[in-house]
Amino acid sequence: MFFLGIGAGVIGAASRNIGLTPYQIGLLIAAQNVGFLLSVLVAGALADSYPKTRLLFFGSAILAAAFFLFYRWEPFSLNLVLMLFVGVGIGSYEGVTDALLLELHPRRGSLYININHLFVTAGALAIAVYLLFLQMNWRSSLTQSAAVVAVLAVAFLLLRPAAPAAPAAPAAPAAPATLVAEPPGLAERFRVLRSGSVMGILLVAAICAIGLEYGMGGILTTFLMELRGFDQVTSKLGLIALIGGTAAGRLLLGVLVRRERLVPVLIVLFGAAAVFTGLLFFVPLPGGLIYPLLVLCGLSFSSLLPFTIALAGLLHREIAGTAMGVVKLAIPVGGIVVPVIISLLSRYASFNAALGLLPVLGALSCVVLATVGRVVHERVGATAEE
């Protein structure tokens, strides 16, 4: 997942070094999101019926090759295809790793999923620091990343994780092989997921979570410099405060929150995100108070997506990979739709109207989760007793 963060952040970090135009940057990001969208859904569905380590091998091999070849030659069309395959590679990581962690750690799945996504934040931050602050050669950084991901591919090919140990039971005649349940087919899995409103609400909540995180990251420095009088250095310190709060929150909340408390905690976090972003954008605070408020914003954003993904897996344990893959469609969807809405509001209404979208997303998610909160809470609580 660290390399997922690198793959997601490499265009923003290296675009000036490569010499890309805004038009080319937009196309590359779009191609990556298309590859990610296709891969996360397919990989998540396959994770319910194929060995997860084998799927991670194929994803790592694709990502290593794409990293190694990206912009070794100049034609933009070739590199557009390579960025599509970067999306496929990182999408396979997103689609499989959480399902694997939930399988290996059924009682603390939300903790490990949170830590898993902490490494995405770390990877995006690392590539930015590596390229922008240390001024390293961007091509060398991708070659080194490709080498490490290739080693991971070999490790996944050789790895055979042991199945979770079953509890001891009195000796009894072996059950007939015909009684072993086969995993449901793909069509049956999607029929189950469509049968209720819960998955749709979780998908909406995940889109709002991604929108809050991506939207804040995209407009924060502009907001601080244009409306709060920050300069280039202090605005970047504000961004670091936000990322630091996100990283700390993913670790802290992952340790403290048990799976039977995921729903009420999510409602509180979305509500806190609405309040904190509203205070940040619409209350004129002294500069010294903005930094701790940004840390609180990061804390409130931190576990929104991981906990929503964990809920989907816990509600559909028998098809967890497919369920989490569906919710993860929110990552490319929210990452495209919300920034576009912010851009349109800024151009055709006002920057303040664009800023107001973020508190609205937090409040909207509070409402939609509250509508199914009791049902989901009871179902997740029942799994905690198994």
State residue 172's pLDDT score.
47
The CB-side HSE value for 369 (13 A sphere, CA atoms) comes to 29
In order, the DSSP letters of 13-40 are HHHHHHT--HHHHHHHHHHHHHHHHHHH
Least confident span in 143-157, 180-194, 249-263: 180-194
Judging by beta carbons within 10 Å of its beta carbon (0-12, 13-18, 19+), is residue 165 exposed, middle or buried? Answer: exposed
Residue 156 to residues 60, 72, 99, Cα–Cα distance (Å): 9, 27, 15
Look-up: residue for tokens 């098809």? 319
pLDDT-based confidence at residue 294 (cuts at 50, 70, 90): very high
Average pLDDT over residues 236-256: 83
Q: Say if CB 220 and CB 241 are below 8 A apart.
A: no
Q: Say if CB 262 and CB 234 are below 8 A apart.
A: no
Distance CA 382, CA 386 (A): 7
3-state DSSP assignment of residue 237? helix
**The token pair that represents 53 in the structure block:** 């380590």
pLDDT > 90? residue 293:
yes
Least confident span in 50-59, 301-310, 330-339: 330-339
Q: Which amino acid is at 365?
A: S
**The token pair that represents 86 in the structure block:** 């970067």
pLDDT-based confidence at residue 171 (cuts at 50, 70, 90): very low
State residue 167's pLDDT score.
44
State residue 296's pLDDT score.
95
> Mean pLDDT, the chain, as a whole number?
77
Residues of the chain with CATH 1.20.1250.20: 2-158, 186-384
Average pLDDT over residues 115-136: 66
Q: Domain 2-158 belongs to what topology? A: Growth Hormone; Chain: A; (1.20.1250)
Q: What 8-state DSSP symbol labels residue 165?
A: P
pLDDT > 90? residue 179:
no
Name 61's Cβ contacts closer than 8 Å, sequence gap at least 6.
Answer: 150, 153
**The token pair that represents 288 in the structure block:** 């010294």
pLDDT > 90? residue 360:
yes
More reliable by pLDDT, 258 or 166? 258
377-386 contacts at long range (C-beta below 8 A, 24 or more positions apart)? 377/260, 377/263, 377/264, 379/315, 380/259, 380/260, 380/262, 380/263, 380/311, 380/314, 380/315, 381/260, 383/259, 383/314, 383/317, 384/107, 384/258, 384/259, 384/260
pLDDT tens, position by position, 85-116: 988 988 888 878 877 777 777 676 666 777 77
pLDDT > 80? residue 341:
yes
pLDDT tens, position by position, 38-92: 888 788 778 777 788 888 899 889 989 988 988 888 888 898 899 899 889 888 8
What is the share, in percent, of the chain residues with pLDDT greater than 70?
A: 76
Residue 185 to residues 135, 281, 322, 364, Cα–Cα distance (Å): 50, 48, 11, 34
State residue 374's pLDDT score.
66
Class of domain 186-384 (CATH, top level): mainly alpha
349-353 contacts at long range (C-beta below 8 A, 24 or more positions apart)? 351/223, 351/226, 351/227, 352/281, 352/282
